Structure 1
Amino acid sequence: MPTSFEKRRAEFGEYLRRLRIDAGYETGKDFARAIGWNAPKVSKIENGRQTAGDEDLETWLTAVHAPAERSAELRVRLAAIRDAYASWREKVRDGYRARQEESLSREARARRIRAVDLLIVPGLLQTAEYARHAILSHAKVHGGAQDITEAVRARMQRQQILHEPGRTIELLTAEAVFQYPIAPPEVMIAQVHRLLSIVGTPEIRFGIIPAGTLLPYPVTGGFWIVDDVVMIENAPGEHLVDDVDEVGTCHEVADLLWTIAAENDAAKTVLQRVLDNTSR
């Protein structure tokens, strides 16, 4: 089943296809020849397999003599599609601090936050050194401005909401985070102590899935539900989902995972085991 992002892109492509036909270009090949493109590019855009760039759209609109009002509408639609999925290289082009400040702003407005991160400590619970290693690892792959110190500071600022009233915050991780660490032992030990200090905090529901637990659903990546929007991160980029059904599915998966999570004293037991193993 296509995602809401894929549906939007397909609908956008179909809209462009109709404009092309209405302008007298019967085939995509004819249109490609007229604007100096290769035919596969036209086909991919029209069939929702490729997102048009700003210059692509302007070329298309000019070729079909689209009215100003319709052109403006399509520019807005394209911007919305791009917002729904942005590559990490695009996200961090202006630096990692900007990306963290974006999250800070979103979370500050939120009434409910549910994070499911099974291979990394959720950002709202990271120590500064753990966050530094996480962002540095990211920068090695995706590049971007090397404002790591400022980005870490912004990520720490995000954590202020943990102690503000009026929110529901659920943060779920897994023991696997410590079996596949992204930082040296001393950093991971400090991170365990940070999580131990959170357990039992009234404003926060914290859970950790013990190693070896049978999963009720195969989770292939982390996701955050912030009010009515889901943020799904993968290696290429970040996908924002606001389709009601898809958001509901993510809530359902989160609910299933919480059924096997250790909380309160059970969570302390898991974290103490991690601490003992890491300290050896």
Structure 2
Amino acid sequence: MATSFERRRADFADRLRQLREAAGLNGKELAQLVGWNAPKVSKVEKGRQTASNEDLEDWIRALKLPAATADELRAELASLHDQYVTWKQAVRAGHRARQEESVERESKASLIRAVDVGIVPGLLQTADYAEHVLHAHAALQGGGHDITDAVRARMRRQQVLYEAGKTIEILMTESALLHPVAPPDVMTGQIHRLIATIGVPNVRFGILPLRVQLPYMLMHGYWIVDDLAMIETVTGELTLPDPDEVATLGELTDMLWSAAAEGDHARTILHRAADELRTD
């Protein structure tokens, strides 16, 4: 099933196609006018590739669209770009700005529900662990010149854990500890940080243990912050404002909590993981 972003991109692409046809041009003719190859026109019109701002301006000029139509298209494309941002775009100027966005969003939120698969969720990371995570991210996506500042910003995010009036649920997989992104000493410190989280007021912390049957296949991690959901992929971050999609992820979160280890059970898992690090 297509996401709201995919549906909106398809609608936008279809409108571009209709405008081209209304101008009496075929795809090859438009490609020649804007200096593209014909396959690019096809990809944009079929929604397989999101147009860039420059692409749209080429389209507007080639079709000589009215100012009102052009402004509508620009606004819609800007909204699409806000909904899906590639990591290379997001961290081009560095990682700190992205972390500060989270500080602002989470400080205003009353509800935060995090489900992470491959790493310890950011709100519970130690500074040393966060540094290794961000360096790994920068090695693939770029923007590695301000990691120290980005780590500081990520640590500031954690102030929300101790603010009254917030509902915070943080769920992670045990496998995130068994595929470490940092050396054993850093992982040990991170595990002790997680142990200290158990019992913090306003924070519900759980672990999805190994070899426990889950109620649904967990394809990726995600965060729900009030009425928005965010999904991180290898290549970018998708923001879902659609209430039905947010509700579906909320329902999935409830299902996952039914399989989660909490309290003493979670503490046992964490102590075992720390012991295994000492014996490796």
Q: Is this contact kept in 1: 2:34–2:58, CA < 8 A?
A: yes
Match of 1:122 in 2: 121
Identify the residue that residue 95 of structure 1 maps to in structure 2. 94
Deviation, 1:250, is 1.1
Match of 2:32 in 1: 33
Match of 1:13 in 2: 13
Report the Cα distance in structure 2 between the residues aligned to 1:237 and 1:34, rounded to whole angstroms. 31
- The number of equivalent residue pairs is 279
Structure 1 unaligned regions, length at least 5: none
For structure 2, the residue ranges without an aligned partner over 5 or more in a row are none
Q: Is the 8 A contact 2:162 2:201 kept in 1?
A: no
Q: For 1:124 and 1:88, how far apart are their aligned partners in 2?
A: 20
Q: Which moved more, 1:151-160 or 1:168-177?
A: 168-177
Q: Conserved in 2, the CA contact under 8 Å of 1:97 and 1:154? A: yes
Amino acid in structure 2 at the alignment position of 1:55: E
**Matched residue, 1:23:** 23
2:137 corresponds to which residue?
138
| CA distance in 2 between partners of 1:29 and 1:74 (Å) | 22
Instruction: Letter of the 2:20 partner, please give it.
Output: R
Query: RMSD between aligned alpha carbons?
Result: 1.2
| Normalised TM-score (structure 2) | 0.96
**SS class of match (1:211):** coil
Q: TM-score, normalised by structure 1?
A: 0.96
Q: Give the aligned residue type for 2:19.
A: L
Alpha-carbon displacement from aligned partner over 1:194-250 (angstroms, at most 9, x marks no partner): 111110112100001122211221212111111111111111111111112211221
Partner residue, 1:4: 4
* Residue in structure 2 matched with residue 78 of structure 1 by the alignment: 77
1:248 aligns with 2:250: no
**Equivalent residue for 1:110?**
109
Corresponding residue SS for 2:193 = helix
SS of residue matched to 1:95: coil
The within-5 A match list for 1:1-280 is 1-25=1-25, 27-280=26-279
Deviation at 1:128, TM superposition (A): 0.4
Aligned partners of 1:94 and 1:145 also within 8 Å: no
Name the SS of the counterpart of 1:93 in structure 2: coil
Secondary structure of 2:261's match? coil
Give the SS at the match of 1:33: helix
